[in-house]
Amino acid sequence: MIKYDGLFDSFLLGGFECSTHYLPSGKRLDEIAATRHDELAKPDYLRLHELGIRTAREGIRWHLIERQPGNLDFSSALGMIRAARETGTQVIWDLCHYGWPDWLDIFSPEFVTAFERLARAFAKLLREEGDETPFICPINEISFFAWGGGDSLWLNPYARNRGDELKDQLVRSTIAATEAVWDVNPRTRIAQIDPIINVLPEDPKNPKHCRDAENYRLSQYDALDMLSGRLKPHLGGKPEYLDLIGVNYYVHNQWILGGSFIPPTHPRYRPFGDLLKENYARYERPLFVAETGIEDEARPSWFRYVCKQVRLALRAGTQIEGVCLYPIVNHPGWVDDRHCHNGLWDYADEHGNREAYEPLKREIERQQVYFKTLLDPAKEEVGPRYAEELMQT
């Protein structure tokens, strides 16, 4: 029996890259501005609607909102909020996508207080703007954030040997923000979003290799376990904080510990659908694929693979509420500003038009039919164009 509640306005979602962190060079990213999505939010949402996509992932830019402590100015987000309302687009809002104001130390107690203040103010704004049941992700990818910013020098704050400390801090902040938005609007849905991974031992016959790889693999659940109170209960976690779980999955999310990434064609690769089933069995909370995508010509085939695995997991009883193509618009590379061809639509021209990558567009149209047929067969008939393919997926 398929478990599906229809939490989102469409099963397929589009995500707009919204990272705002600092690079080692000192440059702060602003991918929303770089893609002109802030000025083109309304036509971007209408482009989604043309493909039957009515739900988007977005992020607000805290560093623009609170340039000075306590002075919150949401003008940088208001255009997107109103464009969503005017077009009838449902949005999942990230409050912190790797970036925070310059004046704030992420390891300080003040960070938790400031983040709670941001969350409360944003929840009030959404209520005032007519969003009766908002979807909010407090902090994107706590586990990856803690690894990248606290241990590996890959993300700000570029610390070493502070990954556990940063993870604890991000969990505290998420809990404070969640309570704040629920205090403003108890109907708010909270999405906890983290990567889903698989880590394999270099030598499957070596007990130490197997133990180390398994411990690393299981660490993907630390943040969710902390939020739910299973791990480090002194942080204040409770089961209800796992309202909705988003999993981010890319081609590099499976690797050999101490070795290289492994592709889906590798004999030891674990099907993505199995990873989804494991997550659901562990928490029994609604899932959605919050990010997935790849660059260049592989875009259609990768999206096809992910969607097929999602259908297999759905048929096996895993509750999955959607799949988000992320990003939906090409963007400049974080480090080198290269033109990343990883979305459906390209950079906008001088008139605000975006050219679509047709092979991916056709694949999205195909997957729309497949999911509508699976989830609501009474409302969708599969024509001969797709019938044979659907039997294989």
Each residue's pLDDT tens digit, 8-39: 999 999 999 999 999 999 999 999 999 999 99
Reported as a single tens digit per residue, the pLDDT across 61-111 is: 999 999 999 999 999 999 999 999 999 999 999 999 999 999 999 999 999
The class that CATH gives domain 12-391 is alpha beta
Query: For residues 259 and 356, which has the higher predicted lDDT (pLDDT)?
Result: 356
Backbone φ, ψ for residue 263 (5° rounding)? -85, 165
DSSP-based three-state secondary structure for 356: strand
Return the percentage of the chain with pLDDT > 90, whole number.
94
CA-closest candidate to residue 116, choices 51, 52, 182, 64:
182
Reported as a single tens digit per residue, the pLDDT across 109-164 is: 999 999 999 999 999 999 999 999 999 999 999 999 999 999 999 999 999 999 99
Distance in angstroms (rounded) separating the CA atoms of residues 40 and 161: 41
Distance in angstroms (rounded) separating the CA atoms of residues 371 and 310: 10
Single pTM value for the model: 0.95
Backbone φ, ψ for residue 160 (5° rounding)? -120, 140
Instruction: Answer whether 319's CB lies under 8 Å from 331's CB.
Output: no
Q: Is the pLDDT of residue 388 over 90?
A: no
Residue type at position 385 = R
Please, which pLDDT band fits residue 389 given cuts at 50, 70 and 90? Answer: low
Buried b (16+ CB within 10 A) or exposed e, 364-380: bebbbbbbbbbbeeeee
Taking the CA atoms of residue 306, residue 302, residue 141 and residue 123 in that order, the dihedral angle to the nearest 10 degrees is: -70
DSSP 269: P
Residue 339's Cβ-count burial label (10 Å; 0-12, 13-18, 19+) is exposed
Residue 86, CA distances (Å) to 18, 43, 228, 309, 324 in order = 21, 11, 36, 34, 22
